[in-house]
Structure 1
Amino acid sequence: MMSEHPKQTKQKDRKSHQPSAKLRGSTRDDAKTRLSKTLSYVLRHGAEKERIPIRPDGFVLVNDLLSTPKFRELDFETLQSIVKEDNKQRYHLVQDVDQDGTPSDWIIRANQGHSLKTVEVEDKDILSAEEVPMAVHGTNKKAWASIEKQGLSKMTRNHIHIAQGLTGDTVISGKLFTPLQLQRRFANFNKGMRNSADIFIYIDLQKALGAGYKFQLSANGVILTAGNEKGFLPPEFFSQVERRVGKSGREPLPGWEGAIHPKSSEVVIGSTQSESNPADS
């Protein structure tokens, strides 16, 4: 039977509750922001801990989600709003269908970033470096000290996250676009990048592909790789490394100079970079 929307606790009952202290994020954040951060955590890492059944493709039933005490302040309309307004496009909310094609229950998943080993989201394989404009990972100086020696690590996640570019520093080879076209075309370029990043590691994607490393593109535009058998992408696949200079500049790190620069026929837009917090990207 078709489910038009998930079951919800009566609104008057929800309003009687104060925001849960167990929600993620700072107490300075508004309730909607904390709900979004908690949703990101549960769908990527905590579904099993919260006893929410999660499918191998990462989807959970919205009804199961809304029935947990952690989301007592969340209703379906707010959930829709969180998904729609999320500038990183972290979530995929859709109405499932039965085998005969009849619309069924609403389901939701995180597009990438899972640490749950039972989840393997189906992503698009990248077969050539030409399929993406570039591959760059943002980190900080403290982390770079170990990355320089051992490479990028997926750590507790299922994949290493790599962005397709830097916000406001988008390169388009030999083409001119309207501002609206640029906004649409490059909406996903900096997904997987932290706001706090001051070190930028450019990946020689074609060299890594040639060495047998597997790369996929997530539904929201993040380049993903599980790395080698130990979960690392070694430094031999770094083509250049840059450090932040001031608020908007960058310069190559000594010993890590490369050739990642726009050609004279390319158009460069803006001059700033941004990334998402790893817990929320």
Structure 2
Amino acid sequence: MNIVELSKTLSWLLRHGAREAGVSMDAAGWVPVAQVLRHLRIDRATLDHVIATNNKSRIELDGERVRACQGHSTENMPVTPEALEASWRPYTDAGSLWHGTTVEATIPIAREGLWPQRRTHVHLAPSLESKVGKRSVTPVVLEISTERLRQAGQGVWEAQNGVVLARHVPPAAIVGLVCTTRAARGVEGELRARFGLTS
């Protein structure tokens, strides 16, 4: 297995597959390094290299335990939102946050806001140029007000790799959007009307 495949397998194990693989995990997502080495059939030096070269710094190592920084499934995993939030930093910046999506997905988002689906939290990016917290290619990038998130009673957190997280983003916290493809720009007026954005 090459480094890229190992990195993907490690991310799967720590985000979605620990219970299925028979690897013990606590409520904050920590797994004993020894169990990961045994499951992946690799040595510690290889694990250290996989973590160091992960392009989004998704994996966090703390002595003899390891975990995914964020992105855990809620199905069949022992993590809890409360334990994860207790291990992250409160996000204190006042600027905008960003979330990439598709044109089609803006219809339910405009009605219900952003929900994490089968994950514990919605992933947000701290800047429009950020590589973390949003997918690399998305036709629509929503601008989210941290002030409105807090006014709605939503905690805002930052994982160790810089991804910003919230349990829910209500529609009122979406204050702008950027269209990144020609197709999305062609319906930008319709998208803005959908979210009640005037400019």
Q: From 168, 171, 182, give the equivalent of 1:235.
A: 171
1:100-140, Cα deviation, whole Å (9 max, x unpaired): xxxxxx2111111112353432111135x42xx42000111
SS in 1 for 2:120: coil
Q: From 49, 60, 66, give the equivalent of 2:31.
A: 60
Cα displacement (A) at 1:159: 0.4
- Measured on the aligned residues, the alpha-carbon RMSD in Å equals 2.2
Q: From 140, 154, 166, give the equivalent of 2:102.
A: 140
Q: Do the aligned residues in 2 keep the contact of 1:244 with 1:250 (CA within 8 Å)?
A: yes
CA distance in 2, matches of 1:108, 1:46: 14
Match of residue 207 from structure 1: 148
Question: Unmatched 5+ residue regions in structure 1?
Answer: 1-18, 20-30, 96-105, 168-188, 228-232, 260-281
SS in 1 for 2:20: coil
Aligned length: 186
SS in 1 for 2:106: helix
Match of residue 5 from structure 1: none
SS in 1 for 2:180: strand
Q: Do the aligned residues in 2 keep the contact of 1:242 with 1:252 (CA within 8 Å)?
A: no
SS in 2 for 1:220: coil
Greater share of helix residues, 1 or 2? Answer: 2
Change over 3 Å in CA distance of 1:224–1:117 after alignment to 2: farther
> TM-score, normalized by length of structure 1?
0.61
Cα displacement (A) at 1:86: 1.4
Q: Do the aligned residues in 1 keep the contact of 2:149 with 2:170 (CA within 8 Å)?
A: no
Question: Unmatched 5+ residue regions in structure 2?
Answer: none
Cα displacement (A) at 1:243: 1.3
Match of residue 14 from structure 2: 43
Q: From 110, 119, 124, give the equivalent of 2:68.
A: 110
What amino acid does structure 2 have at the position aligned with 1:226? R
CA distance in 2, matches of 1:195, 1:258: 27
> TM-score, normalized by length of structure 2?
0.84
Q: Runs in 1 of length 4+ with deviation above 6 angstroms?
A: 249-252
